[in-house]
Amino acid sequence: MSSPSVSVVMPVLNEQATVEAAVRRVLRDFPDCELVVVDGGSDDATAGLAARHATVLRTPRGRALQMNAGAHHCTGEVLWFLHADTAVEPAALGQLRAALAAPDVVGGGLTLRFDRRGPALNYLARASNARARRLHHIFGDQAMFVRRSVFEELGGFPELPIMEDLELSRRLHRRGRLVLLSATSTASSRRLVAHGVWRMIVFMQYLKLLHFLGVAPEAIRRRYAAGPRLLPPLPTMRRDS
């Protein structure tokens, strides 16, 4: 049986410091994969740098919207969503294709690690991988992949301003089996370190709690953008259910 074709979708926004190296890395390590970079309105040189090496789409800002547009443009039987500041182990593609040989597997992600080490970062990586295995919650820095047929059946990423990856992974799990590959996805720790890793761990759990409690997605996005300050009272709940 032939291996499924794979399309890489890379959403970017003001990533001029990392995008060219990221695109070159994908082209070098996964030369038989289609690559589409989706720029969400960068006001720096991101789109131009990426266009030197790959197809670039331009969309309004919004990671879910960007990834859905990239997926629509792609032709692969498998969609693989990679962040520009995340480095994927070359062995991942072979493992991805082997995992999808099982018909009940609808998608999955990679084993997370960070580009720096330390007690807090090591804990976060371990906890994230355990969450992916046990709860089947896969986030963007774990390089989510999904069968195109299932992605389209589910309507793609829900166009939320935040937590779109969490919501898609939950929907995928209801549709079939998600797997966590042993190949690594090495994510940038820059934002975590800048704000304090332990503070960010607590902050991210707080944001997920708001999401599960039904807080309006735009309120969560604003809270995320404000950063991990002293946690405020819960925002107003949605009234649509």
pLDDT digits (tens, 9 = 90+) for 105-136: 999 999 999 999 999 999 999 999 999 999 99
pLDDT of 231 reads: 54
Averaged pLDDT, 29-58? 96
Averaged pLDDT, 211-228? 90
Tokens of 18: 């990392």
Who contacts 117 (Cβ-Cβ below 8 Å, separation ≥6)?
Answer: none
Who contacts 146 (Cβ-Cβ below 8 Å, separation ≥6)?
Answer: 78, 79, 106, 107, 168, 172
Tens digit of each residue's pLDDT (9 = 90 or more) over 154-213: 999 999 989 999 999 999 999 999 999 999 999 999 989 998 999 999 999 999 999 999
Q: Taking the model in full, what pTM does it have?
A: 0.91
- With cut-offs at 50, 70 and 90, classify the pLDDT of residue 226: confident
Averaged pLDDT, 138-156? 97
Does residue 2 carry a pLDDT above 90?
no
Question: Taken in order 189, 184, 36, 172, is the CA torsion positive or negative?
Answer: negative
- With cut-offs at 50, 70 and 90, classify the pLDDT of residue 14: very high
Question: Taken in order 199, 204, 205, 207, is the CA torsion positive or negative?
Answer: positive
Q: What average pLDDT is seen over the chain? A: 93
pLDDT of 234 reads: 45
Tell me how far CA of residue 220 lies from CA of 24, 133, 204, 207, 211, in angstroms. Answer: 34, 26, 11, 7, 7
Averaged pLDDT, 73-93? 97
